[in-house]
């Protein structure tokens, strides 16, 4: 007989509130868990048609999660994890690092003050070409175009397939197809494809912001760095670099983003995050080799799992942060045990 979902959740709550999982994880090999965030907003629902609620944490939820990390785990920095991987430093038990992808303005405005309250130093991977601009990430533009269009169908420029837009489900399927169509493009080609889709859907991109500022500016990025946080690269234009076919463009996404951030910070940028807007995989042997050649010392993925002593620093695993508290704790505990979540 299958255990009912409600019973499963009740069991999880009992286990995470007991010391059983912690006692078991304390006996496991040393490891760190890297958490992945994107955006923090007071009212995530206001951004359903742009950023998308799937990658937004409510401010109250994020603050509670940081409080739990500070009280029940041990916050560590990315540099401490690299020292551990190099055999130069032992990690404390239940080490947890916090990372943010993309460079949204709320990272500075909302998340950073919360991190400061709990003494947590995070890593902010920024999409370099968007910082200090009024532009929104391309995947936000696509989400907005499909959410607001009055068109009843859309032809995928990659496959030629016609997608119905008459239901919420069909719009979501079309949006995912559009993500796939654009994820392998970068720079001008990516922008041309996004503009083509916006024209096809008769989307008024000017109304996406409604006065909202999506991305941080360079002064804010520098302040995060001065406050002890790490700033890393998330490419120039957020393609899935494992699917970019031009070596020249791939190298530009890796090296020019690094150079641009270094120029702004006045210091070396050593850390990278592989974008994963769509398509699988998000990294391969070629991207790892080029990431190393460009000069990055670490790179994080969206592949779930713990960071143990034998981990490759250029393909570090991370996990997402579920909103329900018991699920958040459950995922952390299981990851320390080496179980995939």
Alpha carbons within 13 angstroms on the beta-carbon side of residue 287 total 27
Residues of the chain above pLDDT 90, percent: 89
Q: For residue 1, is pLDDT > 50? A: no
Per-residue pLDDT tens over the stretch 145-177: 999 999 999 999 999 999 999 999 999 999 999
- What is the C-alpha separation between 14 and 33, in angstroms, rounded? 22
- pLDDT at res. 339: 86
- pLDDT at res. 25: 65
Alpha carbons within 13 angstroms on the beta-carbon side of residue 206 total 0
Per-residue pLDDT tens over the stretch 311-322: 999 999 999 999
Confidence of residue 198 (pLDDT cuts 50, 70, 90): very high
Per-residue pLDDT tens over the stretch 294-338: 999 999 999 999 999 999 999 999 999 999 999 999 999 999 999
Q: Structure pTM?
A: 0.96
Interior CA angle at 116 toward 112 and 120, to 5°?
A: 95
Helices and strands counted in the chain (H then E)? 13, 12
- pLDDT at res. 28: 75
- What is the C-alpha separation between 150 and 240, in angstroms, rounded? 29
Residue (of 309, 306, 270, 314) closest to 84 by Cα position: 309
CB atoms within 10 A of CB 31: 22
Burial of 296 per CB tally in 10 Å (0-12, 13-18, 19+): buried
Per-residue pLDDT tens over the stretch 22-73: 766 676 789 999 999 999 999 999 999 999 999 999 999 999 999 999 999 9
User: Over the Cα atoms of the chain, what is R_g?
Assistant: 20
């Amino acid at each position: 007989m299958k255990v009912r979902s409600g019973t499963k959740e009740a069991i999880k709550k009992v286990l995470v509130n007991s010391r059983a999982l912690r006692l078991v994880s304390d006996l496991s090999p040393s490891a760190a868990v890297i958490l992945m965030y994107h955006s923090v907003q007071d009212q995530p629902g206001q951004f359903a048609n742009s950023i998308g609620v799937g990658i937004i944490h409510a401010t109250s939820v994020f603050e509670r999660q940081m409080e739990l990390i500070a009280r029940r785990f041990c916050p560590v920095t990315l540099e401490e994890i690299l020292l551990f991987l190099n055999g130069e430093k032992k990690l404390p038990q239940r080490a947890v690092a916090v990372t943010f992808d993309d460079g949204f303005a709320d990272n500075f405005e909302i998340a950073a003050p919360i991190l400061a309250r709990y003494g947590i130093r995070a890593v902010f991977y920024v999409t370099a070409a968007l910082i200090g601009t009024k532009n929104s990430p391309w995947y936000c533009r696509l989400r907005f175009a499909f959410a607001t269009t009055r068109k009843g169908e859309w032809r995928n420029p990659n496959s030629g397939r016609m997608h119905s837009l008459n239901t919420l489900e069909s719009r979501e399927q079309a949006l995912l197809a559009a993500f796939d169509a654009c994820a392998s493009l970068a720079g001008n080609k990516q922008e041309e494809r996004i503009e083509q889709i916006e024209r096809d859907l008769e989307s008024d991109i000017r109304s996406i912001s409604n006065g909202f500022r999506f991305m941080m500016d360079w002064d804010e990025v520098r302040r995060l760095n001065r406050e002890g946080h790490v700033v890393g690269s998330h490419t120039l234009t957020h393609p899935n670099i494992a699917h970019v076919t031009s070596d020249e463009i791939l190298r530009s996404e890796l090296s020019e983003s690094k150079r641009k951030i270094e120029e702004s910070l006045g210091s070396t940028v050593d850390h990278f995050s592989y974008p994963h807007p769509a398509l699988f995989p998000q990294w391969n042997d070629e991207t790892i080799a080029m990431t190393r050649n460009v000069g990055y010392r670490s790179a994080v993925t969206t592949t779930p799992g713990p960071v143990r002593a034998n981990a490759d620093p250029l393909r570090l695993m991370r996990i997402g942060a579920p909103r329900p508290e018991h699920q958040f704790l459950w995922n952390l505990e299981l990851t320390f045990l080496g179980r995939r979540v």
